[in-house]
């Protein structure tokens, strides 16, 4: 079982403002810190109550700030939610990039990519709940649709690049990397949805290991 590690906010939390800054720098750092405080609180509240069942006062209480301060940093509720969604995706993306950066072997990169993608359900179920809540809004909110589209496109592009690198090094078969990336993304989303709806339907971790082996069988040149 992979070690649980929060990636949505803990990996990119803004440090509390220090004193060794000039007024302008300190003002910018305070603003960044407060915004992160508020979006983190919004993330937790939406995970608990759902997209439609919270108030700005709920978020203010969780963040330990006044509702007026929220309106100071975010012009309206939609602006705050779009900022939250963008920050969630950026932090997950950053976590993946950090895990892949020191690795040279495409086989190891592929394993890390698959483990990170599937691990969100086991390690941070709140992220899945909140993301699914946002998915219900893409028909009505073009900004949210663009952010989520960028997220899934980023997953496909990263996996495509790993597969292409492996092909160039003679490690992976001459497969259609975009097709494989699309297949994996579809499996990932399907697994997440089924597990969230009914986590007794199948053994999530066992099945993700089998999918991982399935992907390796599709692409790896066995010697």
**78-100 pLDDT, tens per residue?**
888 888 888 888 888 888 999 99
**3-18 pLDDT, tens per residue?**
455 556 653 344 555 5
Q: Name the pLDDT band for 62 (thresholds 50, 70, 90).
A: very high
Enumerate domains of the chain plus CATH numbers.
Answer: 10-219 (1.10.357.10)
**Which residue(s) pair with 220 in the sheet?**
172
- Classify the C-alpha dihedral 26-72-149-62 as positive or negative: positive
State the average pLDDT for the chain: 85
Query: Residues 6 or more apart from 185 whose CB is under 8 A from it?
Result: 152, 155, 156, 159
Is pLDDT at 36 greater than 60 in this prediction?
yes
Residue 216 has a pLDDT of 96
């Amino acid at each position: 079982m992979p070690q649980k590690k929060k990636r949505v906010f803990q990996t990119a939390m803004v440090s509390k403002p220090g004193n060794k800054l000039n007024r302008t720098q300190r003002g910018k750092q305070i603003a960044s810190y407060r915004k992160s405080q508020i979006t983190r609180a919004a993330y937790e509240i939406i995970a608990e109550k759902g997209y439609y069942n919270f108030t700005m006062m709920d978020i203010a209480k969780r963040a330990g700030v006044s509702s007026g301060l929220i309106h100071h940093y975010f012009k309206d509720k939609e602006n705050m939610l779009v900022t939250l969604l963008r920050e969630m995706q950026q932090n997950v993306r950053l976590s993946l990039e950090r895990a892949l950066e020191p690795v040279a072997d495409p086989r190891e990169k592929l394993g890390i990519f698959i483990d990170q993608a599937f691990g969100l359900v086991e390690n941070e179920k709140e992220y899945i709940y909140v993301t699914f809540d946002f998915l219900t809004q893409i028909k009505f909110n073009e900004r949210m649709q663009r952010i989520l589209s960028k997220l899934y496109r980023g997953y496909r592009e990263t996996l495509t690049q790993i597969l292409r690198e492996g092909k160039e090094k003679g490690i992976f078969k001459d497969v259609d990397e975009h097709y494989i990336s699309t297949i994996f993304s579809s499996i990932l989303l399907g697994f997440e949805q089924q597990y969230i709806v009914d986590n007794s339907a199948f053994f999530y971790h066992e099945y993700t290991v089998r999918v991982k082996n399935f992907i390796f069988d599709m692409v790896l040149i066995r010697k």
